[in-house]
Structure 1
Amino acid sequence: MIRNALSVDVEDWFQVGAFERTIRRDDWDSLTHRVERNTDAVLELFDAAGVTATFFTLGWVAERYPALLRRIGAAGHEVASHGYDHARVFTFTPEQFRADLRKSRAILEDASGQAVTGYRAPSFSIDPRTPWAHRILAEEGYRYSSSVAPIRHDHYGWPDSPRFAWKPVKDAPLVELPVTTARLAGRTLAAGGGGFFRLLPYGFSHWAIRQVNGQENRPAIFYFHPWEIDAGQPRVAGAPLRSRVRHYSNLSAMAGKLRRLTRDFAWSRVDALADQEAERAS
């Protein structure tokens, strides 16, 4: 049986891309924080299912909740970087990106006691606008990145990227592990979790992962956020309607769907797949 990669992008309800023009970063500390309670709920869900995963965590979160990072590590999960404060990579200069990587990694390693070797760009924001990003990740000693969504989407995407693991820097061991997609009627469809998993029927994700595992003989790379299991989170009235629909729909169903997913497939940490996928991509 193929073991897939399970991952969590650890950020709070107000740090998502959908609200970045509605909620100012300067106001984050004054808002109700729910990331610790929600991530603890995810840890309980994973413990009950007997699975381990990778937690791509914002440095901002680790800075304020270092004990949470220690609990993640103590439960056998990988701590990886999600950048410092969810700024998208294409908003940085190369020098700013390097500084963000170093800042967030230092905070994450200090809080968790783990070496951080994995990275996921906020909102999958490594794309053709950032031709320098993978090179900088390699120079900073990262083992893998899972920062590309090989789809067309109004919020993110790099549709010309390979769908499976690839080597973005010829003379470096860094491997890019794109989030999972499936193929249907000649189209590439997002099938790696997040809002698509929450909004669409469970059967779609089950079909897509079976396609990737069975027909293509590859592991799936799946992700979600702790706020997606929190139906009681505050509502942002001033956000655009589309953002509110995407963000708040089916929150109450998410935990049950995740429990089903952990039963139906085999799962592991992203770093457990990085080496085998790097060999394949060579």
Structure 2
Amino acid sequence: MNGTTPAAIHSSAIVNGLSVDVEDWFQVGAFENVIERSDWDGLKTRVEDNVSRIIDLFDAADVKATFFTLGWIAERHPALIRRIADAGHEVASHGYDHARVFTFDQPAFGADLAKAQAILQDACGQPVTGYRAPSFSIDQRNTWAFAELAEQGYIYSSSVAPITHDHYGWREAPRFAFRPLSWSDMIEIPVTTAILGGKRVAAGGGGFFRVLPYAFSRWAIRQVNSRDERPAVFYFHPWEIDPDQPRVPNAPLRSKLRHYTGLEQMAGKLSDLANEFAWGRMNEVAAREAARAGQFFVDVADKDVAA
């Protein structure tokens, strides 16, 4: 950092959104076709130790974050959720058991939201007003999800990946915070993308952060902060700092490569990231972005997009 202290850098920097999608190693989308939900309770959980390590890492960097947490996890580890809140971090919803939003109809999605929120609020003792869809699974197919979120009192969502990807993505969505509903102040804050060669590229964390050199993430976040003058939104999972987690032998090779590559280096890279940039909770980012959020209304009846 050329002799400049992190405090000096952070004092004048845009505050980015730091987030953790709290799910265990057996609950990820990569393994959803080889590990049944009915088997989850028989598997050894590692989420408590991993989240504790993350809290310690954040404490060392003096940053606060948002933990988008599965209701399933909070139901079984309520003391962990309380520790997250007591450490000054935001507890937000990741749904109940990592079912993708496009697998629901609107009433079923509403029930999932309400169930997860009740469990999380009971565990943390605070209102839960933020949501992230499992696997960024809100897109042009299920824009009715925004209406359900707003009706249940959510202030913001961070559920859209405005790119093309084989597992998720809504290429036409805005890159930065937008209001999806004409009748609600709720905002959507998409995960970060950068512009490379005139095209959007994923740059908000997860597997891309593990696999690519750290220099790429540094470049991308600086681009968003400096050129776009907007906060970046970064996410990762507790299992990504756990190279000793169990292996899933019958998973497809592609899924194994995505899931296990770069685990050994992840904690060190996260520490560098936490210390190099200014970070805060997603609800704080949402409060600041609300004044700048553009309108990108979606017709929840016809499921068409209207700019």
* Structure-1 residue corresponding to 2:300: none
Distance 1:34 1:270 in 2: 25
Q: Which has the larger radius of gyration?
A: 2
Q: Say if 2:155 is the partner of 1:130.
A: no
**Aligned residue type for 1:191:** A
Distance 1:276 1:55 in 2: 19
* Structure-2 residue corresponding to 1:27: 39
Distance 2:263 2:221 in 1: 22
Instruction: Mark the runs of 5 or more structure 1 residues left unpaired by the alignment.
Output: none
Distance 1:131 1:60 in 2: 25
Q: Say if 2:227 is the partner of 1:215.
A: yes
* Structure-2 residue corresponding to 1:64: 76
* Structure-2 residue corresponding to 1:195: 207
Of residues 230, 241, 244, the one that matches 2:256 is 244
Distance 2:107 2:30 in 1: 26
Q: Say if 2:6 is the partner of 1:6.
A: no
**Aligned residue type for 2:206:** G
* Structure-2 residue corresponding to 1:280: 292
Of residues 22, 28, 36, the one that matches 1:16 is 28
Of residues 157, 161, 166, the one that matches 1:149 is 161
Per-residue CA deviations over 1:164-214 (Å, capped at 9, x if unaligned) read 000001110100000000001111000000000011000000000000000
The DSSP-based 3-state class of the residue aligned with 1:280 is: coil
Which contiguous aligned blocks of 4+ residues in structure 1 show a shift greater than 4 angstroms? none
The DSSP-based 3-state class of the residue aligned with 2:167 is: coil
Instruction: Mark the runs of 5 or more structure 2 residues left unpaired by the alignment.
Output: 1-12, 295-307
Distance 1:109 1:268 in 2: 21
The alpha-carbon deviation at position 275 of structure 1 amounts to 1.6
**Aligned residue type for 1:207:** W
Q: Say if 2:239 is the partner of 1:227.
A: yes
Per-residue CA deviations over 1:106-145 (Å, capped at 9, x if unaligned) read 0000001010000000000000110200011000000000
Of residues 122, 130, 138, the one that matches 1:110 is 122
Identity of aligned pairs, percent? 67
The alpha-carbon deviation at position 281 of structure 1 amounts to 1.2
**Aligned residue type for 2:247:** R
* Structure-2 residue corresponding to 1:50: 62
**Aligned residue type for 1:20:** E
The alpha-carbon deviation at position 27 of structure 1 amounts to 0.1
Of residues 170, 185, 188, the one that matches 1:158 is 170
Distance 1:36 1:14 in 2: 14
Q: Say if 2:280 is the partner of 1:263.
A: no
Of residues 176, 195, 203, the one that matches 1:183 is 195
The DSSP-based 3-state class of the residue aligned with 1:279 is: coil
- The TM-score with structure 1 as length reference comes to 0.99
**Aligned residue type for 1:268:** G
The DSSP-based 3-state class of the residue aligned with 1:80 is: strand
* Structure-2 residue corresponding to 1:119: 131
Distance 1:46 1:217 in 2: 24
**Aligned residues between the structures:** 282
The DSSP-based 3-state class of the residue aligned with 1:235 is: coil
Distance 1:276 1:127 in 2: 24
Distance 2:291 2:14 in 1: 16
The alpha-carbon deviation at position 263 of structure 1 amounts to 1.2
Q: Say if 2:112 is the partner of 1:100.
A: yes
The alpha-carbon deviation at position 67 of structure 1 amounts to 0.1
**Aligned residue type for 2:240:** E
